Amino acid sequence: MTPVQKPQIEDTGKVWIRGRTRPSFAVRVDEKFFVPGMEEGQTIEYWTEGNCLCVVLSGPAPGTRTARRFGLDLPAVAPAALFSGFEKTRHRDVTAVLWSDPGVEESVMAPPA
């Protein structure tokens, strides 16, 4: 019996998503690309847990955090091209899962007003 491999974060970099005006940060888990929706001035933490890619974006407003969970089985349908920063992935056209796709779970935490 072959042991089941845990999903691995293989690489990170930027992709051009068709129709967008600037590149977006992306994470490659195994052979699938995920665009977590990181914006200017945000910091990011990401890891795999079970069959999910978990992402926490902090900022740009102090104390604001956005958590997103991407199922690794979500379909990657957004056309994109690898742009820069990927060290272990050859340049090519890909499809990606976006933060705005159905099935991506999101929770926003903001400091009390």
pLDDT in tens, the chain (113 residues): 666 678 999 999 999 999 999 999 999 999 999 999 999 999 999 999 999 999 999 998 888 999 999 999 999 999 999 999 999 998 899 999 999 999 999 999 988 77
Q: Which two tokens stand for residue 21?
A: 């005006």
Amino acid at 77: V
Amino acid at 57: L
Whose tokens are 């990657």? That residue is: 76
pLDDT at 2: 65
Model-level pTM? 0.92
Question: What span, in angstroms and rounded, lies between the C-alpha atoms of 68 and 47?
Answer: 11
